[in-house]
Each structure stands twice: as C-alpha cells, then as structure tokens.
Amino acid sequence: MSLSVKIMDEMKTAMKAKDTVALEALRAIKSELLLAQTSSGSKEEISEDEEIKLLQRLVKTRKESARIYTEQNRPDLAEPELAQVAVIEKFLPAQLSEAEIEAVIAKIIAETGASGIASMGKVMGLATSQLGGAAEGKVVSGIVKKLLV
C-alpha cells in the first residue's frame, strides 16, 4: 500500500475520532506529497526513498519548531508540534539505535579505508545510502565525526 493511501486512511480515522492534531499532521504530509509529485511534473507516484526524505524533513522542521517554542517558554505551542512528530514518525521506518548505527558506520570506514575528517563526505554518502530512513542525519553525522577523528 502506497504512502498516500495510508495517509488517506489515517485521515478518515482522525476525522472520525475528531483528532485535530493528527489530522493537521496528516494534511501536512498529504500536501508535501502532492507538492513533490507535481514539482516533478510526472503523474507517477514519487519513490519510497523520496517519501522517506519528505517525512524526515517534516519531522525535522517540527522538532526544530518545538525546540524554539520551548526555548521561548511557550509549551502551549511546543506540545502540538511534538504530537505531530509522533504522528508523522508512524510512517517512517523503525529507527536504529546509536550502537547499530555506529556498527554500520565502522564497517563502512573499514571497507573504504577512510581516515581523518577529510573523508567525512565519502563516509556520509555511503552511510546515508545504506541506512536510508532508519537513522536521522544529525545522529549519523555525529557518529561519523566521532569515528573519524
């Protein structure tokens, strides 16, 4: 089942349950999917990788907004953002633990013979393609820096 079909099913459920936070998050996902599909100019569905990147971007922006609201002592605005993050994350693949990510990155470094911070771009590219949506880019970047230094 494609992501857009799952989103529509979840939207119907959220409407019936009168869950406004979930509905708002689902509408944002649907909107981004439509924008991504129409920007490419094709009538075909966007790829699964593009869907995952889109969802990760939505999660990242909401987490950043929640962080800013928290810093400004506005928990009333931060809570809905974090609730939307929880809704959006249901559609992402299960996230790997830091230990699992570190093992994958260590393997990549061993295979490529990378050493020093100058090789970070090469390692990040391979790690991102291997891990896909199973790890947040910020976490991967931190682990790569730690292992290359």
If you average pLDDT over residues 122-142, what whole number do you get?
A: 83
User: What is the distance, to the nearest Å, from the Cα of residue 140 to the centroid of all Cα atoms in its chain?
Assistant: 13
User: What pLDDT is stored for residue 62 in this prediction?
Assistant: 95
Query: What is the SS3 assignment for 113?
Result: coil
What dihedral angle (degrees, nearest 10) is formed by the CA atoms of 38, 41, 126, 64? -20
Kindly report the length of the chain.
149
**Residue 11 pLDDT more than 90?**
yes
Quote the CA–CA distance of 85 and 69 in Å, as a whole number: 14
User: What pLDDT is stored for residue 135 in this prediction?
Assistant: 81
Q: Which of 16-20, 114-118, 122-126 ranks highest by mean pLDDT?
A: 16-20
**Residue 81 pLDDT more than 80?**
yes
Quote the CA–CA distance of 101 and 103 in Å, as a whole number: 5
Mean of the per-residue pLDDT values of the chain: 88
pTM over 0.85: no
- H or E, element range at 107: helix 98-112
Question: HSE on the CB side for 1, CA within 13 Å?
Answer: 8
Going by pLDDT thresholds of 50, 70 and 90, the confidence category of residue 106 is confident
Long-range Cβ pairs for the range 91-96 (8 Å, 24+): 91/3, 91/6, 91/7, 91/29, 91/55, 92/52, 92/55, 92/56, 92/59, 92/133, 93/52, 93/132, 93/133, 93/134, 94/134, 95/134, 95/135, 95/136, 96/131, 96/134, 96/135
User: What pLDDT is stored for residue 1 in this prediction?
Assistant: 61
